Amino acid sequence: MIKLKDIQEAKQTLNGVVHYTPLAHAPILSKNLNANIYLKKENLQLTGSFKLRGAFNKIASLNDKEKELGVVAASAGNHAQGLAYSANHYKIDATIIMPEATPLTKVSGVKSYGAQVILHGANYDEAYEYAISYAKENNKTFVHPFADDIVIAGQGTVALEILEQLENIDMIIIPIGGGGLISGMAVAIKELKPNIRIIGVVAQGANAMKNSYENKKILNSKRVKTIADGIAVRDVTPRMLEYTMSLVDEIVEVEDKEIASAILFLLEKQKIVVEGAGAVGLAAIMHGKIDIESKTVVLPLSGGNIDVTMLSLIIEKGLVKSNRKMNMIVTLIDKPGSLRKLTDIFTLNDANIVQIDYDRNSVQLDFGDANVTISIETKGEEHQNIIRTKLDQNGYRFKEI
């Protein structure tokens, strides 16, 4: 396992390259959860993620021959962008193998740094297997996104910054995919401040590390499915399990709907755009997975490279869940003036119609009826109850969707 000096040397290597990202107090969150919460904003890092730290540290360590031949990586996106930037910095060739479902924003980000992108496989692990063979066939250096001590040392520099920025910390809650970030940070923290509790968070749909940690042996997942694509890792590597079991105090898991609510909270209340992987720590404390009452807690927001389509979906679902939007199907008599009478109800009760669709041809309709699918903006649960009551009083059949 790496030592503190390896991380300190990485910090020197990264000096002047990576951003020294802010550690900001979160007053609303702290008040809501009765704790003292700080956000380490790695979403503001160059390339949008902490992954630049490990990738650059690795590229800087290559000898001249290795740099001449170029590098290969497999990544869901953030390691890819970090490696592409680092390779471009040293003017060496980089080929990145990415899963076929990788969000366009991450593919575009990698290409913008001059790297070649090959889309292959349904998930990270399939891309990884292809990347290994590609690197061997082309005599290039494969740069692992997490199971590499030089990469781990680079990721550990996040912890050095945090410990410089805040003196008294009870707990640091860190996302886990392959385990590179939590391993590097944990080495630094346990050597410098061993009393700080280190808690990892996995997505429920990619929880192999949690299962392996709790059973003290490798238990890989058969499949992964989560909106937190940055930590969607199917298989656990022996090296990373060793780090995790030695240094991490606890691992919890969060569901996709909890991750989505955390992303929305950060966007709305903190004015921060964070991807799913970066929001899992917040999801864990917002939904009571970790006891943080009266504690000083640091959450590394590991990345901000969220796909715009996914963000739009999260916002839409969040508005419905928080009673600021209603989607419903209303059945009415198909005759002139019927739609006008329905919309008058919404108008008179201060509900803004944002989308409407009229269907008179569905085979499920009785003759003479029509379905109106309608989306309205509302002002909370009480406002929605008023609208439901008015629809009932006027004899409308409706269901919410």
Task: Decide which of 318, 345, 372 is a domain's last residue.
Answer: 318
Task: Decide which of 91, 113, 145 is a domain's last residue.
Answer: 145
pLDDT given for residue 76 in this prediction:
72
Sign of the C-alpha dihedral computed for residues 330, 332, 335 and 341 taken in this order = negative
Residue 146 reports pLDDT greater than 90: yes
Tally of CB atoms within 10 A around 369: 16
Supply the angle between the helices 4-14 and 180-192 in degrees, to the nearest 10: 110
Q: Are residues 182 and 229 in the same domain?
A: yes
pLDDT digits (tens, 9 = 90+) for 274-289: 999 999 999 999 999 9
Supply the angle between the helices 51-61 and 4-14 in degrees, to the nearest 10: 90
Q: Are residues 192 and 236 in the same domain?
A: yes
pLDDT band, very low/low/confident/very high, at 124 (cuts 50, 70, 90): confident
In the chain, pLDDT over 70 holds for what percent of residues? 100
Q: Are residues 29 and 175 in the same domain?
A: yes
Q: Are residues 42 and 188 in the same domain?
A: yes
Report the distance separating Cα 244 and Cα 198, nearest Å. 10
Q: Are residues 262 and 165 in the same domain?
A: yes
Residues β-bridged to residue 326: 376
Q: Are residues 264 and 333 in the same domain?
A: no
pLDDT given for residue 123 in this prediction:
75
pLDDT band, very low/low/confident/very high, at 77 (cuts 50, 70, 90): confident
Q: What is the residue range of 99's domain?
A: 51-145
Residue 172 reports pLDDT greater than 80: yes
Task: Decide which of 99, 124, 145 is a domain's last residue.
Answer: 145
Sign of the C-alpha dihedral computed for residues 287, 288, 292 and 293 taken in this order = positive
Q: Are residues 311 and 331 in the same domain?
A: no
Q: Are residues 275 and 311 in the same domain?
A: yes
Q: Which CATH number covers residue 373?
A: 3.30.70.260
Q: Are residues 65 and 192 in the same domain?
A: no
Report the distance separating Cα 174 and Cα 282, nearest Å. 10
Q: Are residues 214 and 275 in the same domain?
A: yes
- Mean pLDDT for 364-388 is 94
Q: Are residues 16 and 89 in the same domain?
A: no
Q: Are residues 192 and 269 in the same domain?
A: yes
Number of domains into which the chain is organized: 3
- Mean pLDDT for 346-351 is 95
Residue 321 reports pLDDT greater than 90: no
Task: Characterize the bridge pairing of strands 116-119 and 94-98.
Answer: parallel
- What b/e readout covers 216-229, taking b as 16+ CB neighbours within 10 angstroms? eeebebeebebbbb
Q: Which CATH number covers residue 306?
A: 3.40.50.1100
pLDDT band, very low/low/confident/very high, at 40 (cuts 50, 70, 90): very high
- Mean pLDDT for 331-356 is 95
